[in-house]
Structure 1
Amino acid sequence: MLSLFTTGIYGYLDLVLIGWALGLVWLAGRALLKKVPFAQKVRSGLGEEVYLFGNWAAPQREEIGGWLFLVSMALLQFDMFFMNSYVRESGAGWYAFLAPKLEIVYFWLIIVKMVFFTRYSGLQLGAGFCFLFVFRWVFLNNGHFWPVVGMLYFLAAKDIRTRRTLKVCLAVSAASFFAVVFSASMGWIKTIQDIGDIRPRDSFGYGWFNLTGAILLAVCIMYVCWRQVSKLKWFDFALLAAAMVFCDRGPDSRAAAICIALLIVLAALLRFLPGVARPVWVRVVVSAAPAMAFAVSLLGGWLYKADSPVWVKLDILLSNRLSYTSQALVQSSIAIAGQRLTDSGFLVDNFYVNLWIYGGPVESLLFWGAVAVLLWRLLKKGALTESACLVVLLAHAVMETHFAWPCINVVLWLLPCVLYLLPGERTPSFAPKEKQI
């Protein structure tokens, strides 16, 4: 039992599964002890939302649970956006003391929130258990950190106050990012620079140029979700444009720069022509975006021809992602529940293909199916901001693997409405003056 507390993410996942398994038993026992007809016992156990292990102090537990998620996510973003930079080399003493303890704290906050401070019905807990079990099963086979950590946080996002959490995390993320960039610009911490054949690149204190771009894109996404497209003013578009120029001219992160430009275009379209998203056929097409991107990514790799000028030009436009994908698909096989490939000799930056190869068909189809349903529900609710931001991040996933990072893809905090099979009226968003449940 002690190993559950000392094996990092492996132990944390097991603790959640143990807590939930005991919770399912408790829910079943609670329903059976009720002095009502058996059919009503079944309906009560499957459909009534309660806190596990007793419904004591319910109003206080809902508020505490929201704060646990908020603090955990803010600490994760501080860890990834500030501590995960060359600050670690300039402050070796305090960094070595703080970094491992920080991870323990934010994971334990999530575990406690999920087991003791979230309401579940038997059906919801069973659905969540299945999702987490599949992702844990794949993680044991491939050892990939972010898909399973992302799923842990997305499951934990049930019953949180999304807008309050977003505002705090936007502040933490922006402050962390600008602190690192400023420190690198002043020469206080190390940075990576590449003169290159065309133009120079600077990581501004992070370990790689595209990580700098991904974090900047995440800050832009959080900013737009906070502001909401219907409220955007000229200065909002000016800020986004400045971020795009910096991303293009500084780290030269092509994927992030293109996606910030796409974010500006979609935000402007929905700001001035919100009616374009109302027709049902538009919702159908947009909701199919995960499936289309997934199919195009795989087909692009399988059909790519190195001797075709058209394919070569398209490959250059996508920073060699097509040739990388083709090489990966040719040199690998598919494992139903994921696989660990060491010294494979290929690189897969396309997240659709990456998840397919390393996570396998079960995890891939489950994950992209959930994202597609989320898009449909957001559009049906009229959550245009969140829908546009999710489409932008789906585009980013064609060239980078940050889509499942909960500290970057904040739109997936809204996934509980899908993962727990919640009714349509309980689809959350980041809009203000809305009852967040």
Structure 2
Amino acid sequence: MFGFANGLLLALFAAAAVDFVLAWRRTAAPAAALRTLWQQEHLLFGGWGAGWRLRAGQAAFCLGLALYEFTVVFCNSMAREQWPWLQQQLSPVLDTLMYLAFFAKILLGTRYTWRSLGTAGALYFIARWVYFNGQNIWFLGLAVVLLAAKDVPLGRAMKAFLACGLPTLALVELLHFAGIVAPGATSERDGSFRLMFGYGHPNTFGGIVFGLLLAWVLLRRARLRWLEILAVGGVAVFLYVWPASRSAALCAALLALLLAAAKLLGSRPAGPKAAALVAAPVPLVLAFSLILPLFVVKVGPWSNDVGPAWLERLDSLLTCRISLSWAAYRVLDIKIAGQMLPEWPVLDNIFVYLLYQFGPVLLVLAVVLLTLALYGHARLGRWQEVACLLVVLFYGYMETQVLHITSDPAALLFCGVIFAQPLRRWDFS
């Protein structure tokens, strides 16, 4: 992965150099060449075969997204215990094909201005920088997916996501209930059983279902009917009762409520102040994540033996998210470019996790990107997209699975911000 990360960065620098040489030859003046490159969208490495390259680029992205989904949903299920070759032999091959597909899309199947290429390239450089320290493969995968997502209609991407994810999950459940994969798939925690549905943890299953639910919403968007919104609430009940994946269940319930509000709002765009109010929860949740652990008072030997009483109850509701963050404050150093984290404390809060795994620079960038994405979609009146981003914000408070595109396909809504496009170009149809 280090070789791929470096190779993509060097290829983007090479593409920019070729861009400049070709533009200079056409205009015969360096200043004119720079203006043209900054303002006009163009394919990298010349405009040859533009039509088929753009079509092939979209197909390559959908192929890469489907391979990503299959690798996570099947190869990372408990099927890996039954058939070790899934992880040892098949997954590396699928990962290579996936990254090659995204590589081809980024370099040969996408049009850029130098403004968009420079912004996205700088963000990728930072992602690569912190990846080399934190070595979280899911994070690098997310960064590459977002780079490759430009110019791919959101509906087409979600169709590929669902076309692979739904039958693959159905296959895992069939193997599970047939007793082939993880036949004794229950785990006992605090005296209660939680069904794992063929995965190593109930929250893994919950995250996969939650991601498929988000993909369906992003495919349907303004076409969602009241019955479909009710079905989203039904999924929330299922996740809460059977796998007892509380984080996914609560967020699915919140999604149903926000989609109902979006249905009532229609496509009415928000003004600047209203859009800013919609985006305000991002810095608020960040502040809540980082400040609340400062009020923890240790009252016993275990990590969740904390006080005062109100904070202990809140920590219990959030299954130790607050007390584990408090522990991180005391045992971990903050490093500007991140670090590899020990197994304990387990940081399920994405804001605290980003702070320690990837450093404060990336944390600030992630908060800015999400805030701007929420603001932009609210200004455009795309309330279903706003609902998905808000729900992902609260899901991230409880789970770091938002770094997996399989649990967070709404991350594709960041593209307009990542590529510094004006709002009128945020076309995801």
Note whether the superposition's TM-score is higher than 0.5.
yes
Q: How does 1:187-336 map to 2 (within 5 A)?
A: 187-190=179-182, 192-234=185-227, 236-274=228-266, 278-305=270-297, 306-336=306-336
Q: Which moved more, 1:16-25 or 1:242-251?
A: 242-251
| SS of structure 2 residue aligned to 1:334 | coil
Whether the 8 Å contact between 1:301 and 1:325 is mirrored in structure 2 is yes
Q: Hey, what's the Cα distance between the residues in 1 that align with 2:268 and 2:36?
A: 42
Q: How does 1:181-192 map to 2 (within 5 A)?
A: 181-190=173-182, 192=185
- Answering whether residue 48 of structure 2 is matched by residue 25 of structure 1, we say no
Q: How does 1:21-420 map to 2 (within 5 A)?
A: 21-35=13-27, 38-92=30-84, 96-190=88-182, 192-234=185-227, 236-274=228-266, 278-305=270-297, 306-342=306-342, 345-420=344-419
Deviation of 1:182 (Å)? 2.9
Deviation of 1:192 (Å)? 3.3
Q: Any idea what the Cα deviations from partners look like across 1:306-339, whole Å, max 9, x if unmatched?
A: 2200100111111111111111122222111112
1:142–1:35 Cα change, 3 Å: closer
Q: Any idea what the Cα deviations from partners look like across 1:269-315, whole Å, max 9, x if unmatched?
A: 22134488735433112212222211110011222232200100111
Amino acid at match of 1:232: R
| SS of structure 2 residue aligned to 1:402 | helix
Q: Hey, what's the Cα distance between the residues in 2 that align with 1:75 and 1:392?
A: 25
Q: Hey, what's the Cα distance between the residues in 1 that align with 2:233 and 2:390?
A: 19
Q: Any idea what the Cα deviations from partners look like across 1:370-426, whole Å, max 9, x if unmatched?
A: 121111111111211111011101100011001122232112213221111112111
| SS of structure 2 residue aligned to 1:415 | helix
Deviation of 1:196 (Å)? 3.4
Deviation of 1:93 (Å)? 5.1
| SS of structure 2 residue aligned to 1:194 | strand
Amino acid at match of 2:366: F
Structure 2: give runs of 5+ residues left out of the alignment.
298-305
Amino acid at match of 2:367: W
Deviation of 1:143 (Å)? 1.0
Q: Any idea what the Cα deviations from partners look like across 1:68-115, whole Å, max 9, x if unmatched?
A: 000100110011011210112333456644222111111111111111
Alignment partner, residue 428 of structure 1: 427
Whether the 8 Å contact between 2:282 and 2:371 is mirrored in structure 1 is yes
Q: Hey, what's the Cα distance between the residues in 2 that align with 1:96 and 1:74?
A: 20
Amino acid at match of 1:288: A
Q: Hey, what's the Cα distance between the residues in 1 that align with 2:86 and 2:391?
A: 37
User: How does the TM-score come out when normalised to structure 1?
Assistant: 0.91
1:216–1:89 Cα change, 3 Å: same
Q: Any idea what the Cα deviations from partners look like across 1:137-194, whole Å, max 9, x if unmatched?
A: 1111111222222111101101112211211211211222222123212212115312
Whether the 8 Å contact between 2:296 and 2:307 is mirrored in structure 1 is no
Amino acid at match of 2:327: Q
1:32–1:389 Cα change, 3 Å: same
Whether the 8 Å contact between 2:265 and 2:383 is mirrored in structure 1 is no
Q: Hey, what's the Cα distance between the residues in 1 that align with 2:6 and 2:131?
A: 12
1:92–1:337 Cα change, 3 Å: closer
Whether the 8 Å contact between 1:154 and 1:406 is mirrored in structure 2 is no
Whether the 8 Å contact between 1:204 and 1:212 is mirrored in structure 2 is yes
Q: Hey, what's the Cα distance between the residues in 2 that align with 1:228 and 1:63?
A: 24
Q: Hey, what's the Cα distance between the residues in 2 that align with 1:93 and 1:17?
A: 32
Q: Which moved more, 1:253-262 or 1:197-206?
A: 197-206
* Aligned sequence identity (%): 27
1:57–1:277 Cα change, 3 Å: closer
Structure 1: give runs of 5+ residues left out of the alignment.
1-8
Whether the 8 Å contact between 1:78 and 1:172 is mirrored in structure 2 is yes
Q: Hey, what's the Cα distance between the residues in 1 that align with 2:320 and 2:366?
A: 25
Deviation of 1:351 (Å)? 0.6
Amino acid at match of 1:368: V
Deviation of 1:233 (Å)? 2.9
Whether the 8 Å contact between 1:229 and 1:267 is mirrored in structure 2 is no
Q: Hey, what's the Cα distance between the residues in 2 that align with 1:122 and 1:412?
A: 23
Q: Hey, what's the Cα distance between the residues in 2 that align with 1:35 and 1:266?
A: 52
Q: How many correspondences in the alignment?
A: 420
RMSD: 1.9
Q: Hey, what's the Cα distance between the residues in 1 that align with 2:88 and 2:133?
A: 29
Q: Hey, what's the Cα distance between the residues in 2 that align with 1:373 and 1:329?
A: 29
1:404–1:277 Cα change, 3 Å: farther
Whether the 8 Å contact between 2:268 and 2:381 is mirrored in structure 1 is no
